Amino acid sequence: MRDADDASIERARAAVVALYDARSTRATRDEANARLMALSEDPRAASVALGLLERARGDACVAYYAANALSATTRSRERWNGASEGAREAMMRRTTAAFAATANDETTETAARRLGLALARGGARMGSAKMREVVETAFGAVRSSGVGSSAMRAGMELLALAAEACDEAETSSRRELAMACANEGERVLITVREVFSACGSARSRQTDALKASCVRAARGWLKLDPSGDVGGGLRLSPTEFAVRHGQLFGDVLQCLAIESGGCGAAAVDFLVDLHQGRSGGEAEEFQAMNAVTRGLLAHASAANDSDDGVSLARNICLVAVALSERCVSVLARGDEDSLALVSLILSLMERHGREVTEVAVDFFLMMDVVGVSSRHESLRAPMHARLTEVLLKQATLPDDFTTWAVANEDEDTFERFREHVVADLLDNCYGVLRGQYFSIIGSALGAAQNWQAAEAGAFALRAPASRVNDDLEDAPSEEIETFLAQLLSTISEHTTDNSGLFSSHQLVRAGTCRLIASYANWLGRRGPPANSAAQAARARGVLMYITSSFPHPPAWSRAALAFKSVCSRCARHLKEPSTFAALLEHTERCIADVRLTFESEDDEDGRASVTEGLARVIAAMPVQQASEASARLIAPVLARCKRIAAEMAPQIPPNQIAHASAARAMAAELALIAASVRFLEFLPSATIASSCEHPAISVLAAAWPTLEEIVAKRTWQAPSVIKAAAEIYVAALLSAKESSVNMIVPMLESIARTFMATKCASLLEPIATAIEVASISSPESGTSELLPSAPHVGATLSAAFSQIACETVRGVRSGSDDWDLAEALFSTARAFVIFAPAQGLANETLFDVLDLSVAALELREYAPVRASLALLNAIVSPGEKAKRSAPWVANACRVDEYFLSRGPLAANAILRAACAEITPRACLRPAASFLATLLHTAPDVVTPWIITAIDALEPIHPARERFAATLARRPPLPHPRLVAALCDFVFIAIGVGDVDDLLAYDV
């Protein structure tokens, strides 16, 4: 902090004047702003600011700029610490003088308040003695002037800022400041009480600001505990404060209604903190609660009657929430004031809508913490019945709402309010009301005058669905089940009648589909055989409604999910051949009316959900019937694939990839095939008993010619199309499992051909899946091997892996930096050595892949580093049983020779990257585990590798000697402790640990 000359001060003053002068040109203002911005970084900034204040001559703009500059100096730790003790003392002395001068001039009052902030921060940084001087300055300003003066307002603001600066100081400083200054709290409270008394009921902008400062000062000083306690809340309980400072308690409650000057917000903060502080006995709590409750009720008329009362209503609710969090059990007993408070909050929610409801929600959630039997009768069903009605109104879209595109409402905000605020409360309301809840919503639906009310009713019925399903599972309720049955029957009747309540608008259809999906579990629940026909008819009816909603864009995605849910839960009612055939045909017709777009890869295709639903029904059929049905399911998909290919053929040259939208369209169709296969899981015994092909294999066989034709053409070798094809392979393998052995060879050959043309990483996942599916684990040997029934798979697998691995390694080494592809290769190689070690360990390209994995250890990207370490750890630590098995014994020499030659490089790469904070933090432990395993295997060989790697670090590591001693222990530390030691060494290197942390490993 350097002294400024007169010329610098005058240049700064001229720049401030030019910046705020309405007559200045744009260029002049820009030049002045640039000069002042440069000055803010100058070491002389504080000195210039003090000079400006001493020469401000009543110029409010100059004074305010200078006060802000001084505030920035005390806020910045770097600037403050960069000044000498003498310079800080001089700055505080001159700032105090400037504060006194500006506080007594109403035109510079705003600057005085900013100077108060600088004084408070500076006092907190300089310690308790200086802070007491700041406090005396504030008292001097308050005592030397009348209520209407700017000096009193500035002085009271400084008292508030001083307490807040103490509270915001670092923990050790805060404790010292609190212990030294807390005794001033009583003096502050007396002063605040006197100011409130002098102000009386007068209202003006200045008076409101003064009251706000008074409330903030009272809160700030009551937060400073003489013991130095740094906990939350105030040091007095509500009862203690009410008894000792009853008049001030009432004044603060009155401030809730004063919005200007931040007075209401300050009162809320005070009362909330007061209720988070010390607690007293039950009788005391009851007394204080009644005092606060009566204070809140006193504002009822103003908060309810005025359209401008929303701020006051929010303040009341915020304080009521704090009250409920402190003494909800007392509130729940329901004395007259408590019941009136509950009624007031409900009326405020109804009067002011969402802005108040978002605050009040926590009050009712806290009330529901108390058991129903322990509450007053009025706080049981009656309260929740009214709350349900109020929330239903809050969840209703405006009467003039048409679409979100032209609405005043923000869709995300409204949805978040309903799903995360209203839904929680409605769920609690159902928990108390049970059947009465459905009667209330049903009555509202019956009286609905527009589609908005119908849409809100559907939401309210859906909100507690999860709890309703659980309750009905545990204890059936005739009242609720009758209501749900009648509701779904009514919905079914509105399938095509657009004048019906549940089909009156597209958003109603969307909400109703979500409602159906939420009760799909109940819809498909097994009941008495006598009810089976009625359940089947009900399921078919709601499916007709759902499919009729497909063509409506806002409802399409919700309808698709509802279709999947109903089909999944009600599959046993839909699996008859004639029923399924009719459903499939009807669904295809309805989907044909859906307008599909493939503008972005992120767009979800609702048809996938529909296909999954139909596949769930197929999975419930006998195997023979399922094979036939699955072939019919994908027939339209294959036809569309061929049509897309035929349409694009004349438009795209033979060696050019299709444009993005065409590729996405083809990928979307292939994704439907994967969706149809994903859930076709049948026990092997079922396919053997029926002597027929597994349905998943039937689907793949039917799709294979078309699939091969698509992936073979350059036109369709876009990554999205290849990824979709790979998903089909994976889905078929996982569904058919060992039944898929015969399809693995042609699939691997096709994948190898496609990979050589596309280099798509997604093609490696089906290879890893095929390895796992075609293998069998032996608990005795602890290892895996290929199924005896699949001897032909091994050779094909080795050939495909070698071909893909060689191409990938060559590509990365040539500079392609395709680490996504390398990551997929590492995962595949790991599966190869774990599930088929006889073939994997003997594969000549495995060690080229390991070389690439060592090179990946110095990357910053998490995924390839994680996959690389997973592969390396699988090689060095296959498990004790597996290590003694024939494949691992036969290849042990090759593995040992590899790590003898590459181990130093791997250790160096790991430690260099980790100590340079290149290695992702989540990968440190796997990397340490790899090194620890190597060290346990050959401690005298591996320890020098690690020491050499440490010695290569720049600068020399401070923990080098101590860590070297830890590594040199014989026998070595247990594996978990050695891993921890390696991690601690890295943490010390990156500055988040201490050298002494390694002392623990000497024990």
Q: Which residues pair with 775 in a beta bridge?
A: 786
**Mean confidence (pLDDT) of the chain:** 89
Quick one: average pLDDT of 815-821?
81
What single DSSP character describes residue 1001? Answer: G
Interatomic CA distance for residues 618 and 567, integer angstroms: 10
Interatomic CA distance for residues 609 and 836, integer angstroms: 35
Give me the sign of the Cα torsion angle 737, 742, 743, 745: positive
DSSP H/E element including 391: helix 381-394
Tokens read off for 649 = 């053929």
- Smallest Cα–Cα separation from 251: which of 295, 285, 219, 293? 295
How does pLDDT run across 887-934, given as a tens digit for each residue? 889 999 999 999 999 999 999 999 999 999 999 999 999 999 999 999
Percentages helix, strand, coil for the chain (3-state, rounded to 5) are 75, 0, 20
Unique residue bearing structure tokens 């609660």: 289
Unique residue bearing structure tokens 């349900």: 388
- Smallest Cα–Cα separation from 753: which of 711, 690, 789, 721? 711
- Supply the DSSP string of 150-178, one letter for each residue: HHHHHHHHHHHHHHHHHHHS-HHHHHHHH
Q: What percent of the chain has pLDDT over 70?
A: 95
- Collapsed DSSP state (helix, strand, coil) of residue 1: coil
How does pLDDT run across 583-607, given as a tens digit for each residue? 999 999 999 888 877 666 666 789 9
Quick one: average pLDDT of 382-394?
96
- Collapsed DSSP state (helix, strand, coil) of residue 423: helix
- Collapsed DSSP state (helix, strand, coil) of residue 661: helix
- Output 583-586 pairs: Cβ under 8 A, ≥24 positions apart: 583/540, 583/543, 583/614, 583/617, 584/614, 584/629, 584/632, 584/633, 586/544, 586/547
Instruction: Please state which of the ranges 476-485, 735-744, 754-763, 856-865 shows the lowest mean pLDDT.
Output: 735-744
What confidence score (pLDDT) does residue 488 get? 94
Interatomic CA distance for residues 357 and 391, integer angstroms: 8
Write down the H helix ranges in 877-923: 880-883, 886-890, 892-915
Interatomic CA distance for residues 342 and 942, integer angstroms: 72
What single DSSP character describes residue 42? Answer: S
pLDDT over 60 at 507, yes or no:
yes
What confidence score (pLDDT) does residue 230 get? 47
Give me the sign of the Cα torsion angle 410, 416, 417, 422: positive
Interatomic CA distance for residues 783 and 649, integer angstroms: 50
Could you tell me if 248 and 189 are in contact, meaning their C-beta atoms sit under 8 angstroms apart?
A: yes
Instruction: Please state which of the ranges 189-203, 542-556, 690-704 shows the lowest mean pLDDT.
Output: 690-704
pLDDT over 60 at 228, yes or no:
no
Asked if the peptide bond before residue 939 counts as cis, ω within 30 degrees of 0, the response is no
- The backbone torsions φ and ψ at residue 778, rounded to the nearest 5 degrees and listed phi first, read -115, 110
What confidence score (pLDDT) does residue 686 get? 55
Instruction: Tell me the whole-structure pTM to 2 decimals.
Output: 0.82
How does pLDDT run across 544-576, given as a tens digit for each residue? 999 999 999 999 999 999 999 999 999 999 999
Quick one: average pLDDT of 198-226?
90
Give, in degrees to the nearest 5, the angle at Cα 958 between 953 and 961. Answer: 95
pLDDT band at 232 (very low <50, low <70, confident <90, very high): low
Interatomic CA distance for residues 475 and 885, integer angstroms: 55
Quick one: average pLDDT of 45-52?
88
Could you tell me if 139 and 159 are in contact, meaning their C-beta atoms sit under 8 angstroms apart?
A: yes
Q: Is 499 exposed, middle or buried (0-12, 13-18, 19+ CB in 10 A)?
A: exposed
How does pLDDT run across 937-952, given as a tens digit for each residue? 999 999 999 999 998 8
- The backbone torsions φ and ψ at residue 159, rounded to the nearest 5 degrees and listed phi first, read -60, -45
How does pLDDT run across 277-324, given as a tens digit for each residue? 776 666 667 777 888 999 999 999 999 876 778 999 999 999 999 999
Q: Which residues pair with 778 in a beta bridge?
A: 783
Quick one: average pLDDT of 792-819?
87
Interatomic CA distance for residues 208 and 187, integer angstroms: 22
- Supply the DSSP string of 211-243, one letter for each residue: HHHHHHHHHHHHT--TT----SS-SS-HHHHHH
